[in-house]
Amino acid sequence: MNPLKKLAGQTAVYGVSSIAGRLLNYLLVPLHTRVFGAGEFGAITELYGMVAFLIVLLTYGMETAFFRFGGAAAPGAVRSKVFSTAFISVFVTTSVFLLLTLTNVSGIADALHYEDNPDYILYFGIIVGLDVLTTIPFARLRLLNKPVAFVAVNLGSIGLYILLNLFFLMYCPEAIENGTLPGSSFIAAYYNPDFGIGYVFVANLISSGFKFALLTPWMRDVFFGFHKNVARKLYPYALPLLFLGLAGIVNETFDRVFFIRLSPLSETDARAQLGIYGACYKVAMLLSIGIQAYRFAAEPFIFSLAKKESENTRAEVMKYYVIAASFITLTLLCFLDVAMLMVGEKLREGQGVVPILLAAYFCFGAVFNLSFWYKLNDKTKYGALIAFAGAGVTIAGNVLLIPHFSYYGCAWATLAAYFTMMLLSYYLGQKHNPIAYEMRDIALYAGTAALLYGAHRLIGFESALKYLTGAAAVIAYATLVISKEKKLKRLKTN
C-alpha cells in the first residue's frame, strides 16, 4: 500500500477515537462552565495542568523509546522484553511517586493553596498513577496495530467519565430537589452539594481505574521481566526525551499552573480569569484533535519505514498537515462565535485569545512533524534543546506579559514559544537530516488561508454577512486545494 494512504487510514482510525473522545469530553465544557463559576473552573484548569506535567515526568520518554527499540522490525521475543522492561521501570517509579504523594497529602495541599480540599490531592495522585501505568500498554496496542482495542478502551473510559459527570452534577442535584427519582433517598443521604468540583475528580478517578482494568490483558508480557541489557538502550535514548517532554509541558501548562502566582489580581479574581482562559483554551484545542490522531498513527508508522522511504513520506506528510490544519483553523475562525457556544456565556469574554491559540497549535503540529529527524537518528538531545528553547520563551513571555495583559499574555507567550520551536526544528533538521519539503506549496496553502480569513474579517466579520463570507472563504480554500492537488497528481502520473 502507498505509505501515505496507509498512514492516512491509520490516522482516520485513531481519529475516530480522538475525535469522538474529544467531542464527548467537550460536551462537558458547557456543563462545567454553567454549573461552576469562573473561579471553580479555574481550579479545574490549574489542577489538570499539573496532571499533564506529572504524566510527562513519570513516563520519562519510555513510550517513544519503546517504539524505537521494540518496533515492528524487532522479533516478537525482543519486543516483549522491551515492553516488560519499559513497563516495570515505569511501574517502579510510579509506585514511588504514589507512596510519596499519599503520605504527604496535607503538605502538598498546603503548598498548592488547596488546604481546604486535601482530598483533591489524594484523588489526583491516584489518577496520575493510573494514567501513567496505562501509557506503555496503550503504546503496545498502537505498535501491534490494534486500533479497535485502542478505540474501545479509550472511548469506554471517556464514556464512563462523562456518564459519572452527568450523574454527579445533574442527576444527583435533581434527585435531591425532586425526591421522586430512583435512588433519591440514597443520594440524599450520601451526596454533598458543597463538594462541587470534587465530583469531577471522583468521576475521573473511577474512569482511570476502569481504563487500567481494561488494559490488563495487554500487560501480560510484563512476566518477561526487567532486562538490564535492554534498559541500557532505553534509558540513554529516553532521558533526553524526558527533558524534551518536561520542556514541552512547560510550554503547554506553565501559563495555567502559574497564572494565579504571576497575576497582580487577588487570588479569587485571578482564578476567575484563569477559568475564562481555560474555557477558551478548550475551544482552540479543537485543532489538536487532528494533530493527536495523526500523532497516534505516525510515530509507530514512521519508525517502521526504511530511511529513504521515511524521508519522502515525511516531506509529503508535512504538506498535507499544513493543508488539513489550515482548513480546520480557517473553519474555526470563520465560525468562531458558533464554536464559542460550547462555553458558558459568562466565560465567553475571552474569545479574542482563540485565534492566537489556534496559530500556536498550528505551529505545534508542525513541530511534531519536524521532530522525526532526531528520533530516527538517535539524536534526541537536539529535541531537548529545542524544547528548552521553547520553554525559555514560554517562561519569559508569561512572566513579562501576564502582569500587564492577563490571559492574553499567556496566549501570545504560547504562540511565541511554538513559533520559535518550529523555526529551530526546521533549521536543525535541514542541517543534520535534510528533507525536500515542498516549501512553495506549504507557503501557498498557509498564506491563502490567512488571506481568506483576513478578507472575511474585513468584509463580513461584524455584519449579517459573516456566515456567508465565512462559508465562501472555507469553500474557496477547499476548491484551491482540490484543484491544485489534482493537477499535481496528473503531472506526476504523466
- pLDDT of the residue at 10: 57
CA atoms within 13 A on the CB side of 103: 6
Residue-wise pLDDT for 226-243, tens only, equals 888 888 888 888 877 777
Q: In the chain, what are the helix, strand and coil shares in percent, each to the nearest 5?
A: 85, 0, 15
Considering only CA atoms, which of 395, 390, 407, 292 is closest in space to residue 354? 407
Grouping H, G, I as helix, E, B as strand and the rest as coil, residue 191 is coil
- pLDDT of the residue at 13: 58
> How large a percentage of the chain has pLDDT more than 90?
26
CA atoms within 13 A on the CB side of 445: 25
The CA distance from 147 to 141, in Å, is 7
Cα 19 to the center of its chain, rounded Å: 12
From its phi and psi, is residue 406 left (phi > 0), alpha (psi between -120 and 50) or beta? Answer: left
The model's confidence at residue 11, banded by pLDDT at 50, 70 and 90, is low
The CA distance from 342 to 153, in Å, is 26
- Phi/psi of residue 353, nearest 5 degrees: -80, -15
Residue-wise pLDDT for 409-461, tens only, equals 999 999 999 999 999 999 998 988 888 888 999 999 999 999 999 988 888 66
Helices (DSSP H) in 103-262: which residue ranges? 105-111, 118-133, 135-143, 147-166, 172-178, 184-190, 198-215, 228-262
Residue with cell 510527562: 56
Residue-wise pLDDT for 26-42, tens only, equals 667 777 777 887 778 77
Q: Beta-carbon neighbour count of residue 233 at 10 Å?
A: 16
Asked if pLDDT for residue 47 goes beyond 90, the answer is no
Considering only CA atoms, which of 343, 358, 369 is closest in space to residue 422? 369
- pLDDT of the residue at 309: 63
Burial class from Cβ neighbours inside 10 Å (0-12, 13-18, 19+) for residue 112 reads middle
Cα 463 to the center of its chain, rounded Å: 35
Q: Round the average pLDDT of the chain to a whole number and report it.
A: 82
Between these two residues, 130 and 62, which has the higher pLDDT value?
Answer: 130
Considering only CA atoms, which of 128, 160, 134 is closest in space to residue 57? 128
Between these two residues, 269 and 253, which has the higher pLDDT value?
Answer: 269
Asked if pLDDT for residue 21 goes beyond 70, the answer is no
Residue-wise pLDDT for 107-145, tens only, equals 988 888 888 888 888 998 999 999 999 988 888 887 777
Between these two residues, 310 and 378, which has the higher pLDDT value?
Answer: 378
Asked if pLDDT for residue 494 goes beyond 60, the answer is no
Asked if pLDDT for residue 51 goes beyond 70, the answer is yes
First to last CA, the chain: 20
